[in-house]
Amino acid sequence: SAVISQKPSRDICQRGTSLTIQCQVDSQVTMMFWYRQQPGQSLTLIATANQGSEATYESGFVIDKFPISRPNLTFSTLTVSNMSPEDSSIYLCSVSKNRGSNTGELFFGEGSRLTVL
């Protein structure tokens, strides 16, 4: 398994501001992902955080709105830029320890609950 710590756990933000969420893993992992869980809805993949290169974004998500960093194999950040109330969600960091395999499960952090006023 993996122990994943996210900061902040929750925050209330003003419209137009930006917030950076940190994800720290207790061991080196091959793959890190950022998911969004909107109120009453399922989880949606935002992007894959690639170590040492630009993140790979899913359809509907762009780097200008959700810049991601991954400087090493245990840490990543997600920034939610120029926030609007529609960005109010839980943002979840997720990791996989199985390089090149689709059979391993993902492990999730406890999430960062953002409320945008």
Partner 1 sequence: AQSVAQPEDQVNVAEGNPLTVKCTYSVSGNPYLFWYVQYPNRGLQFLLKYITGDNLVKGSYGFEAEFNKSQTSFHLKKPSALVSDSALYFCAVRDIRRGSTLGRLYFGRGTQLTVWP
Q: Which residues bind partner 1 (CB under 8 A)?
A: 4, 6, 31, 33, 41-45, 48, 56, 58, 92, 96, 98, 100, 102-111, 113
DSSP collapsed to 3 states, 13-64: ECCCCCEEEEEEECCCCCEEEEEEECCCCCEEEEEEECCCCCCEECCCCCCC
Nearest CB to partner 1, comparing residues 82 and 101: 101
Q: Which long-range contacts (CB under 8 A, 24 or more apart) does 39-47 make?
A: 39/88, 39/89, 43/92, 46/78, 46/91
Nearest CB to partner 1, comparing residues 17 and 105: 105
How remote is the C-alpha of 25 from its chain's centroid?
A: 13
> Shortest approach of partner 1 to residue 108 CB, angstroms?
4
Nearest CB to partner 1, comparing residues 12 and 82: 12
> Shortest approach of partner 1 to residue 99 CB, angstroms?
9
Nearest CB to partner 1, comparing residues 16 and 110: 110
